[in-house]
Amino acid sequence: MAKKLPAILTEATLVDQPEKTELEYRVIAVNKAGEGQASNTVMVVL
């Protein structure tokens, strides 16, 4: 599920993430020109 945050933020806190499950996170910048390329995927297990 994607979450949109203001561009001025340099960090975000995610809550209610499932535990003991492999999760993948990446960032996509969006501006007036459209969407940029996705960042490298980070895989984590909480």
Residue 4 lies in a domain: no
Residue 43 lies in a domain: yes
Residue 45 lies in a domain: yes
Residue 29 lies in a domain: yes
Residue 12 reports pLDDT greater than 90: no
Q: What is the largest CA-CA distance in the chain?
A: 38
Domain count, the chain: 1
Whole-structure pTM value:
0.60
Strand partners, 25: 42
Residue 11 confidence class, pLDDT cut points 50, 70, 90: confident
Q: pLDDT for 22-46, tens place per residue?
A: 999 998 888 889 999 999 999 999 8
Residue with tokens 């993430």: 17
Residue 23 lies in a domain: yes
Rounded-to-integer distance, Cα 46 and Cα 44, Å: 6
Please, are residues 13 and 38 in contact by the beta-carbon 8 Å criterion?
no
Residue 37 lies in a domain: yes
Residue 1 confidence class, pLDDT cut points 50, 70, 90: low
Q: Residue 40: give the domain boundaries.
A: 16-46
Residue 30's identity, in one-letter code, is V
Residue 5 reports pLDDT greater than 80: no
